[in-house]
Amino acid sequence: MKRLYIGGLGHTVSEKDLKDRFGKFGDVSDVEIVTRKDENGAPLKRFGYININITDAEYKRCVGILNKSTWKGGTLLIQLAKESFLHRLAEERQQLVEKAKAPKIIPQEKLVDSFKAAGVENFHMKAAVPGTEIPGHANWVVSKFGRVLPVVNLKGKGKNKVFKYDPSKHCHNIKRLETADDVTSVSKLTWEIKGGDDEISKKRRGEFPKQKPCPKRSKIDLSLFLSNLAQRNAMNAAATGNKNKVAIQQNGLSAVKTGKQKSVCVFDNDSDSEDEIRMLVAQEHLRNPKQTSTEDDDDNLEVVGDDFVVKSNAFWGGVEQDDVKTSLLTSTKDDEEYDSADTDEILTRRKTQTQAESAPVTQDSPTESSKNKSSSESDEGSDEADDEDDVSVDSDYEAMMGNCYRLDLSLADLEQLAKKAEVISDDESVEEPKEEAKTPSAPPKKTGNNPEDILASLLVDDTPEKESKKKKYQVNTVSLPAFIGTKDLFGGPEPSLKRLAPNIDGESSKRLKQDLKLKEQSISEDTQSSNRLSQQKLSTLNIQRGAKKLESKASTSEDDSSSEESESSGDEDVFTSKTSSASQSVVPETELKTVSSNNSKTPVKPNQTKTSRSSSSGSSSEESESSEDEDSAGVLTSKTPSVAQSVKTISKTQMKSVSSNNSKTPVKPNQTKTSRSSSSGSSSEESESSEEEDNAKVLTSKTSLATPLARTIPETELKTVSTNNSIKPKQTKTSRSSSSDSSSEESETSDDENSRTQTKDSKSADSKSVQENVVSHQTVPHSTVIDAKKQQQDNQKRLAALEQRQKETEQQKKLIQGALSNVDAAKVNKSKHIVFDSDEDDEEEDETTSRPEQPPTNLKKSLFEDDSGSDEDQQTSMLEEKKNNKPGGSKLFDSEDEDDGAEDEQFQIKPQFEGKAGQKLMELQASFGTDSRFQVDSRFLESDAEPEDQDEAAPEEDADKQLLEEKKKSLDILQSILNTNIQPQNTRKGKMFKDVSSLHYDPTQEEHTAFEAKTEEPKKESKAARRKKRIEAEKLPEVSKDVYFDISVDLKEVFGTSKENQDKKETVSWDKEAEDPEDIMKHMEVSFTSNAEANEDTSGGFKFSFFGEDTAVETTTKTDEYKIETVKGAKFSWQADPRFQDSSSDEEEVDEVEEDQSASNEITEEPTTSKKTFFFFYQNDERLKGEI
């Protein structure tokens, strides 16, 4: 039976057709037709299978006939096909069934059976030698222990790939299988171990101890971790401790959540409520707050804000900052305060400030301190212990270093200070502990038991702190000090002068300049200055200490007076001159005043008393006044404030009054002898009168000076008061006048000259005073006769130099005034602006503006000068030229002192300019003819001299400009870099900062006295000076004011008519320039005298004459001083111990300096020194008896 495949059937072929067609060849049993269709259902092809019982021959015939024959539309393809699937399946099943019917045979059993037959039982053959083969089984061998094992063929790697393993030959690795005979049943196995009570055995037994509540801990740790995370997020580093808690609070909720989760998974304890968890957290935190803190700042790392102030002020300008702050607070108004003289004040301030600083620091850094505290308190970890050590080390180190660098300062800078270093270090050590104490002293913040309380408190503490910090930050950023070089310290007076120049307050600036110049001169003069300086500094420092304590205004005023006294005594050191500047400077603070005044307390040496009398001319008068003040304490108090303010605000009217006072005083009959002095000023009066007459008279004259002021001058009290103090400004003028007088005397020119000069002075002072001066100028001849002393020529020359300087300063002042007035009056005369120097115009304008009251005088003047004609003008110009050439002139070259020569050289600069100016003037006059406007005027020349300077300084200005441009450029660049708006500071207004880092100690500089250690000198003779004042004060009441009035009236009547014209002119000019009258007078002189004489005289009058007059003044002053001291001696009986007074008042300190002088000079002082040995009182002390 075969199964055939028949392909290529036509569509019409059916099964029956197939059966029929193949029926011929065999018996067809099963026919199956399959139709393949495409997707559309259309038939593709048809084929079929048939089972046919056919023989091979028949099959071949069938294939031969029917294969590839077409039948009913298709070509047949006949092939043999596999048996049908179903058929095969059925066959297989049938076979399986047949198999199952057959019996199974297990080969192992067969083997065992065969072994049994061979005598092997259970694979063991007893009593068989290993290696014997088992009969019937080729591959089985007896091995060790009689065991029957198969020989195994193993596949090997080597050459013989099959390795035959014969177990009998490898017996050694076979172990005996032990058959356990006693088999224990499971029930008999050990189920229980009996042992002791120790934990292991218990645990072995399965008894575990009760579970500890450790899960809580794990919770808290989690919360802490969270808090730390929160901290990180918070990003604020500063408030670590507080923040921790805040964060914890914040994390309370989150901790709760996590706690819940944990409870779910770990503890299976859902009952924990939020509150409970919170409580747990808080308690845990309370229990060990250190944990958190230590976690945060494990290394005691401190994080500080931007506003952290570096302690080492001394190095890096912290002083400056302080200075800035203080100055900002105290004296914004003052421009002069930045003067270098303030350093000691700064230092004194600093002490207090450091203390003040320490306090805020403690407030600021509770967090830090708390941190430290916590770390120090923490006992837990060894790390923390280490931290503690670190802290202690740090503090020690700080202390050490603190002392160290201060000590360095002292050593490096001052030997003297090094001596006192111990004291200072002690003081600072007192301060330092305070700073250090902040950590322990910081209040412990964590006091509350309740977590909410703690949190609340912390929050409260935190916020304000931050705010304050912010504020601080702002402030600090603003207040960063500008950098300051040492320029100011070493640069000398020039910068300050420059600064002052634009200052509107012309007078103050003028004064300052003058003082500075004086200073220079004095430096050149003083050979012994260095030694003295050191002593002075020491003493002054000591005095300062005392003075600072006493803030009473009276004391300050007294100090002022004493300083002035010292000036009068004549030791013209840098200090004295500076003190004058300082005292006059606008500083409203009493402290500064005291300081400056203290500086002025130099031990006056006898030599110097002679030298600098000229300067004392003004100051001595002040002295008297100050003594007055001393007696009347109330007056003083009222005065001192006015003094402070007056300096700045001294109006011209006050100046007038002052000058008028000077001019008026001379009117006394007593002064007929000292007529010169009267003209010059009260001081000269005093000195001369003391020489020749009784002290009482001198004093009276002084008093007359002082008291009439108040009455005669119809001004407010304040003004009068200020006039007393403001005599200094006047001083320049008076001294000038005095110098002119002296010069005239020396040259011994005619009386007329003197009178003229004096009148000039008086005119400059006041119109009234002019008339009065006329009176005084009558007396001049006497004075000339009297003053023949030429022993003191040196001093005179010095005086002259001083005067010249003063003059120069006045010139500068004039310039300023002119500029100011020009500003005011520019509109009026703009049309007049002509080609030549604008300064001339300005001058003219100044004149016109200055004399708005007297327009006729201008006319008169012009007329008058027209009369004199161009010749005169030319003459004057010539004269001035000569002056210029001679400035150092006859006297200067004659001078024996080299110092003077040096000074003269300094002076020579100006005259040269004047010479140029003179030439210019000549040219101008040649071109403009006799125009009255261009008449020679000393003011003109002097004012012109300045422009000359400027011309020469033009290149410098260019350089400056370039620098400024550069600066601007760099600022622009900076701006571009920083993207911020940077505005250049107003350098003028900026305060003078000092770069302390680059500061080197210079014993010659006054400011550096602050660095010196102060040694206290016994205060002995200060009382003498004081007594002096007192005596003077006592005598003041004696002065009769009536006399003054009378004389003034008479003088006016007598002389007013003759010189009205000139007087008026000069009075007008006075306000702005005191020199105009002088010039005019010079012209007059020229006209009167021969040319040669006139030249010399005028020159002398202009500059040289000062020397002459100065000499006279000096002589008088000298005598005056000597006599005054004698007076003291007379009074010493009751004053025996000055100390008593010293203890009572600050002035004593000031007076100390003068001790030396007085001691050397006079015998009277000696007793005081002898008594100094006692420290306080002794029985029957005279002081107690005599004075209070």
Residue 487 binds another protein, judged by CB under 8 A: yes
Asked whether the beta carbons of 291 and 224 are under 8 A apart, the reply is yes
Residue 827 binds another protein, judged by CB under 8 A: no
Q: How many residues belong to the site for another protein (CB under 8 A)?
A: 67
Tokens of 358: 């320490």
Residues numbered 268-297 forming contacts with another protein, rule: CB under 8 A = 296-297
Query: C-beta of 937: minimal distance to another protein in Å?
Result: 36
> What one-character DSSP code corresponds to residue 145?
G
Beta bridge partners of residue 28, listed in sequence order: 52
Q: Which is nearer to another protein, 479 or 1143 (CB)?
A: 479
Query: C-beta of 228: minimal distance to another protein in Å?
Result: 10
Residue 289, number of CB atoms within 10 A of its CB = 19
Residue 982 binds another protein, judged by CB under 8 A: yes
> Given the rule CB under 8 A, which of 12-20, 96-104, 729-737, 965-973 is the region that contacts another protein?
965-973
How far from 450 is each of 250, 265, 457, 906, CA to CA, in Å?
Answer: 16, 30, 11, 82
Q: Is residue 738 packed enough to be buried (19+ CB in 10 Å), middle (13-18) or exposed (0-12)?
A: buried
Residue 864 binds another protein, judged by CB under 8 A: no
> What one-character DSSP code corresponds to residue 30?
E
Q: Which is nearer to another protein, 471 or 833 (CB)?
A: 471
HEC-encoded secondary structure of 450-497: CHHHHHHHHHHHHHHHHHHHHHHHHHHHHCCCCCCCCHHHHCCHHHHH
Nearest to 814 by CA among 764, 769, 880, 874: 764
Query: C-beta of 971: minimal distance to another protein in Å?
Result: 6
> What one-character DSSP code corresponds to residue 36?
E
Q: Which is nearer to another protein, 394 or 752 (CB)?
A: 394
**Burial track 344-370 (b if 16+ CB lie within 10 A, e otherwise):** bbbbbbbeebbeebbeebbebbbbbbb
Tokens of 930: 């006799």
Among 136, 156, 195, 495, binds another protein (CB under 8 A): 495
> What is the Cα–Cα distance from 105 to 102, expressed in whole angstroms?
10
> Given the rule CB under 8 A, which of 163-171, 208-216, 868-876, 980-988 is the region that contacts another protein?
980-988
Residue 1037 binds another protein, judged by CB under 8 A: no
Residue 993 binds another protein, judged by CB under 8 A: yes
Q: Which is nearer to another protein, 295 or 1046 (CB)?
A: 295
Helix (H) or strand (E) holding 142: strand 140-142
Residue 491 binds another protein, judged by CB under 8 A: yes
Residue 433 binds another protein, judged by CB under 8 A: no
From residue 229 to residue 268, what is the string marking binding to another protein with x (rule CB under 8 A)?
---x--xxxx------------------------------
3-state secondary structure of 181: coil
Among 90, 971, 1163, 1184, binds another protein (CB under 8 A): 971
> What is the Cα–Cα distance from 904 to 917, expressed in whole angstroms?
20
Residue 312 binds another protein, judged by CB under 8 A: yes
> Given the rule CB under 8 A, which of 54-62, 74-82, 391-399, 1056-1064 is the region that contacts another protein?
391-399
Query: C-beta of 1028: minimal distance to another protein in Å?
Result: 42
Q: Which is nearer to another protein, 46 or 994 (CB)?
A: 994
Query: C-beta of 985: minimal distance to another protein in Å?
Result: 5
Sheet holding 43-53, edge to edge: 27-37, 43-53, 2-7, 77-80
How far from 169 is each of 2, 122, 130, 132, 143, CA to CA, in Å?
Answer: 63, 21, 8, 11, 8
Residue 94 binds another protein, judged by CB under 8 A: no
Among 697, 991, 1139, 1183, binds another protein (CB under 8 A): 991
> What is the Cα–Cα distance from 1155 to 604, expressed in whole angstroms?
7
Query: C-beta of 485: minimal distance to another protein in Å?
Result: 6
> What is the Cα–Cα distance from 246 to 230, expressed in whole angstroms?
9
Among 89, 401, 863, 954, binds another protein (CB under 8 A): 401
Among 184, 985, 1173, 1179, binds another protein (CB under 8 A): 985
Measured in degrees and rounded to the nearest 5, phi and psi for residue 697 equal -65, -45
CA 1079 to chain centre: 52
> What one-character DSSP code corresponds to residue 236?
-
Residue 303 binds another protein, judged by CB under 8 A: yes
Tokens of 996: 């302390």
Residues numbered 452-481 forming contacts with another protein, rule: CB under 8 A = 480-481
Query: C-beta of 977: minimal distance to another protein in Å?
Result: 5
Measured in degrees and rounded to the nearest 5, phi and psi for residue 1142 equal -55, -45
DSSP string of 1047-1062? HHHHHHHHHHTTTHHH
Q: Which is nearer to another protein, 89 or 393 (CB)?
A: 393
> Given the rule CB under 8 A, which of 158-166, 398-406, 454-462, 844-852 is the region that contacts another protein?
398-406
Half-sphere exposure of 199 (CA within 13 A, CB side): 3
Residue 305 binds another protein, judged by CB under 8 A: yes
Residue 301 binds another protein, judged by CB under 8 A: yes
Residue 588 binds another protein, judged by CB under 8 A: no
From residue 682 to residue 721, what is the string marking binding to another protein with x (rule CB under 8 A)?
----------------------------------------
Q: Which is nearer to another protein, 380 or 966 (CB)?
A: 966
The letter for the amino acid at 410 is: S
Residues that bind another protein (CB under 8 A): 232, 235-238, 296-297, 299-306, 308, 310-312, 315-317, 390, 393-394, 397-398, 401-402, 404-405, 480-485, 487-488, 491, 495, 959-960, 963-964, 966-967, 969-971, 973-974, 976-978, 980, 982, 984-985, 987, 989-993, 997-998
